Amino acid sequence: MRDRLIFTAQLLFTLLVAAFLVVPVVLSISAGVTVNYFRGISSGVTLQWVFQVFDLYADTILLSFLIAFATLAVTLLVGVPAAYALHVRGGLLSRIVEEIITLPLAIPGLAIALALLISYGGFGGFRRSWLFILVGHVVFTMPFMVRSVMAVFSTIDIKTLDEGAASLGAPPWRRFLDIIVPNAMPGILAGALMVVTLSLGEFNLTWMLHTPLTKTLPVGLADSYASMRLEVASAYTLIFFIMIVPLLVAMQFFADRGQKA
Amino acid sequence: MNAIVGHGASVHIEACAKTFADGTLALAPATLDIARGETLVLLGPSGCGKTTMLRIIAGLEQPDAGGRVLFDGVDITAVPIEQRNVGMVFQSYALFPNMSVAENIGYGLKIRGVARAERAARVAELVALTNITGLEDRRIDQLSGGQRQRVALARAVAIRPGILLLDEPLTALDAALRDRLRGELNRLLRSLGITTIYVTHDQAEAMELGDRIVVMRKGAIVQIGTPREIYFKPQSRFVAEFVGAANIVEAPVADGRLMLPGGVLPLAEGDTHPAAVAMIRPETIAIVAAEGAALTGTIDSISFIGDRQRVIVGGASDKPLTIDAPNTVAVTIGDRVGLSVAPDAIRLLPEHD
Amino acid sequence: MSHRSFIWICLLPLVAVTAAFFLLPMARLVLLGAQGPHGLAGYLAILFEPRYRATLINTMVLASVTTAATLAIATVSGIFLQRHRFPGRAVLVAMLTFPLAFPGVVIGFLIILLAGRQGLIGGISSHLIGEKLVFAYSIQGLFLGYLYFSIPRVILTIMAAAQKLDPGLEEAARSLGAGPWAVQRDVVLPALGPAFVASGAIAFATAMGAFGTAFTLATNIDVLPMLIYTEFTLAANFSTAAALSVGLGLISWAMLALARSLSGGTVAATG
């Protein structure tokens, strides 16, 4: 009887917490497709706000995708070989490098953005281009890629596999492509999902680094929250959810599979 | 692809030492010759430097300055492993999880640019040789431990290596499987006739597989010899006790006889020292009638093993003697028995090692 | 090419990118912080200038309260979800964890929908008590936003830790006569200690440095990231902004480093 009571109380509490997290999302989604949010859903359902968002902010959506995939490309090309080198080399130097590249996780984005602005803000062409935002995103997401790949390396004996391939005559670059990369795939995929998700939603750095001509989706969102009617802001948020939820679901799926394996 | 050595090379290791970055000496300067086609076993407890020696021969570790490794007389000390044309079987097998069994076996040939058809033929040949027919398309995680061991061996042999290196290849398997595979491995290595260096801590493996055994301890070679030499003529107490079971007897010597608490044992070797450390293998001690025996003792315990019985006899020597007696000898605990040992089965050892 | 040089080639791009776009800029930021009218003392302003100190204390109180509340909520729900299997559990877990990667701006907006001028809470409260409750644009709104941000993360960590808990420990305690509360107090909560430290540090560091939520809710909430932002963009007080953000970075980093050394795991703040 007492167990039953405790169970029910805990369940109700947990449902309440879930409601706190889910209800605002439902509100936002419904507001995005309601003719007039103040009058409620009875005023009718419409996609007019969504289309209005596309009219106003299509370029921010495109730029966000461009930056997210460029960030992914850079973190893959730079991060995956580095993760391998750091794992195989080991030692103090590797530990220090790993610590340093992990720092952007601990330092607020605002500080990193300020640092980039005072260092490179003077290079006008660079400052005005989307590459400036890309740099910020690369610094911020790199540790996720490197650590995700290194996590896989620590579960498989990559050093012995590497030696095995070497004993069969494969030169280093060949070993990297034939053995290291395929076996690191789960970590690379998990890291890639994380990098794209974080880049698409990154605001703290981007707000400081953007220019009126290089607005990303989250920057556009902040803009719409401040200056647009609630329905438009909600429709814009809805578009963001639609972009990001599949990535979150995929990430969850990989995390579950990783736990079972 | 320039193969440095052909099928079956000789190996010469000269003053190879290895000091690790933290300053520990893993291997004292060692010099060793391995003849073409010979199977040499590096035997010793863990941490004795045997794996380090193998890895230096493989090219996975560089010896300290001054050390040289020669294959067929050619100095290959600076040549990386991928150009040494060695076949290596790792303790963990190091099979590539992203490739099938056949792809694993064929990988070394693919690297060497062997055409697809020829590669397939060679893979089929090795699959048959190592008894893994039907497993070609399996993934590695679908294989049992014994099957993995065979794939690892097939993969190492596929490239027609000059030298085959095996690092504790049976250690990961359970005892029964280990015994069976040891026999198979022995036949296979004999039929290949390839120069083989085999690292193990298991003296039974070393005895069965080795043409010669190198016993190592604490980073140094302590004895090199054929299995029979190592077993019957150990040069130190460590070798005597590490290889097979041994009774170590410390006793004074008088008139060419070991003076024991329970009697005397005549020695074959003319020894003038006043005292000796001697090794007596358990199977060389015979249980005889107590009356008229030069050495007597009392039976403390009997373990019936099946093909023989292990009898512990107290009171004869300074420590209880272990005896492997035929399973037909009728004995009971508490019996007073006589013991006889052929003089040439008593091996005198240096007192300190 | 030797293996050694190949490894260096693998490492080089990362070292170059990190040096050029992280280490060098951060070094310049640290230098800039000391180039204000007060020189190096600019760094002490965060502690001794009353306005900055008030903001710092404000931010730290907010972060502490957020952390404590998140830990309490996530512990109850996390242990509950790890303990019981019931229909709909997977959906509940998904609901509690999927906001994990929502950016701060979006969370700010969600809080406005909840507690803003047209918000749900205001609507309900005007029906019930005839008064419209609106608190999204204040420090309470920010607290709610940080809670929203931290709950998924902390629940995940605590569920993972609870899963690794050896059920034998609890059974042993019960066999020794401990009741359900005593088991929780003496066995379960101490075993979750490292998870508390790790996830608590993340929640704290995140709440210290999060900018997006505060930015969306209002620009006049008195917390450190907003102060840095206004000093930099509105007052053009670059060296103060630099000093303050170096201070903020140090606090976050120290929290996470401390948590890591206490819990032995790796922790990270995002947002």
Q: pLDDT tens digits for B312-348? A: 999 888 899 999 999 888 888 999 999 999 888 888 8
B193 to B37, B161, C112: CA distances (angstroms): 5, 12, 80
Residues B16-43: what's their mean pLDDT?
Answer: 92
pLDDT over 90 at B107, yes or no? yes
C chain contacts of residue A82, beta-carbon cutoff 8 Å: 10-11, 13-14
In this structure, what token pair is assigned to residue C67? 């952390």
Residues B56-78: what's their mean pLDDT?
Answer: 93
Residues in chain C: 271
Contact A170 B82 (CB under 8 A): yes
Domains of chain A: which residue ranges? 57-260
Of the pLDDT bands very low, low, confident and very high (cuts 50, 70, 90), residue C229 is confident
Q: Which residue of A has its CA nearest to B88?
A: A167
Q: pLDDT tens for residues B10-29?
A: 999 999 999 988 888 999 99
Domains of chain C: 1-33 (no CATH), 44-270 (1.10.3720.10)
Residues A4-25: what's their mean pLDDT?
Answer: 90
CA–CA separation, A237 and A235 (whole Å)? 5
B155 to chain A, any CB pair closer than 8 A? The answer is yes
B108 to chain A, any CB pair closer than 8 A? The answer is yes
Of the pLDDT bands very low, low, confident and very high (cuts 50, 70, 90), residue A142 is very high
Give the percent of chain B with pLDDT over 70.
96
* More confident: C178 or B130: B130
A chain contacts of residue B92, beta-carbon cutoff 8 Å: 157, 160
Cα B31 off chain centre by: 18
String of DSSP letters for B190-254: HHHT-EEEEEES-HHHHHHH-SEEEEEETTEEEEEE-HHHHHHS-SSHHHHHHSS--EEEEEEEE
Of the pLDDT bands very low, low, confident and very high (cuts 50, 70, 90), residue C165 is confident
B287 to chain A, any CB pair closer than 8 A? The answer is no
CB-based contacts of B194, cutoff 8 Å, min separation 6: B7, B8, B37, B157, B161, B163, B164
Q: How far is A158 from chain B (nearest CA, A)?
A: 9
User: Over chain C, what is the mean pLDDT?
Assistant: 84
Of the pLDDT bands very low, low, confident and very high (cuts 50, 70, 90), residue C270 is very low
Spell C193-210 as b/e; 16+ CB within 10 A means b. Answer: ebbbbbbbbbbbbbbbbb
Q: Which residue of C has its CA nearest to A170?
A: C3
Of the pLDDT bands very low, low, confident and very high (cuts 50, 70, 90), residue A188 is very high
Output the pLDDT for position C9: 92
ipTM of the complex: 0.86
CA–CA separation, C91 and C26 (whole Å)? 43
Of the pLDDT bands very low, low, confident and very high (cuts 50, 70, 90), residue C252 is confident
Residues in chain B: 353
Give the percent of chain A with pLDDT over 90.
42
A chain contacts of residue B155, beta-carbon cutoff 8 Å: 168
Contact A218 C106 (CB under 8 A): yes
Residues A100-111: what's their mean pLDDT?
Answer: 85
Residues A33-62: what's their mean pLDDT?
Answer: 82
Lateral strand order in the sheet of B220-225:
B86-89, B163-167, B195-200, B39-43, B212-217, B220-225
Of the pLDDT bands very low, low, confident and very high (cuts 50, 70, 90), residue C266 is very low
Output the pLDDT for position B257: 86
Residue C192 burial (10 A CB sphere; 0-12, 13-18, 19+): buried
- Determine contact, residues A148/A82, Cβ cutoff 8 Å: no
pTM, full prediction: 0.83
Residue B241 burial (10 A CB sphere; 0-12, 13-18, 19+): middle
Output the pLDDT for position B164: 94
Q: Is CATH 1.10.3720.10 what the domain over A57-260 is classified as, yes or no?
A: yes
pLDDT over 70 at C111, yes or no? yes
Output the pLDDT for position A181: 94
Q: Which residue of A has its CA nearest to C32?
A: A118
Contact B107 A183 (CB under 8 A): no
pLDDT over 60 at A56, yes or no? yes
C171 to A221, C80, C81, C147, C159: CA distances (angstroms): 52, 17, 19, 34, 19
Output the pLDDT for position B3: 33
Q: How far is C53 from chain A (nearest CA, A)?
A: 19
Q: What pairs with residue B253 in β-bridges? A: B258
Q: How many CB atoms lie within 10 A of CB C143?
A: 18
Among B84, B98, B105, most A C-beta atoms within 10 A, so best to mutate, is B98
Output the pLDDT for position A258: 62
Q: How far is A171 from chain B (nearest CA, A)?
A: 6
Of the pLDDT bands very low, low, confident and very high (cuts 50, 70, 90), residue B41 is very high
Of the pLDDT bands very low, low, confident and very high (cuts 50, 70, 90), residue B120 is very high
pLDDT over 60 at B32, yes or no? yes
Output the pLDDT for position B6: 42
CA-based nearest residue to A247, from A191, A196, A189: A196
Output the pLDDT for position B330: 84
Output the pLDDT for position C70: 94
Q: pLDDT tens for residues B149-185?
A: 999 999 999 999 989 999 999 988 888 888 888 888 8
In this structure, what token pair is assigned to residue A14? 């947990």
Q: pLDDT tens for residues C193-221?
A: 888 888 888 889 888 888 888 888 876 77
pLDDT over 80 at A40, yes or no? no
B98 to chain A, any CB pair closer than 8 A? The answer is yes
Reading phi first (left if > 0) and then psi (alpha if -120 to 50, else beta), residue C237 is in beta
Q: How far is B323 from chain A (nearest CA, A)?
A: 44
Count how many pairs of residues, chain A against chain C, have C-beta atoms within 8 Å. 249
For chain A, which chains pass the contact test of at least 3 CB pairs under 8 Å? B, C
Interface of A with B (CB under 8 A): 91, 156-157, 160-161, 163-171, 174, 178-179, 182-183, 185
CA-based nearest residue to B88, from B12, B185, B154: B154
User: Over chain B, what is the mean pLDDT?
Assistant: 89
Closest Cβ–Cβ partner in C112, C120, C211 for A23: C120
Residues C136-164: what's their mean pLDDT?
Answer: 88
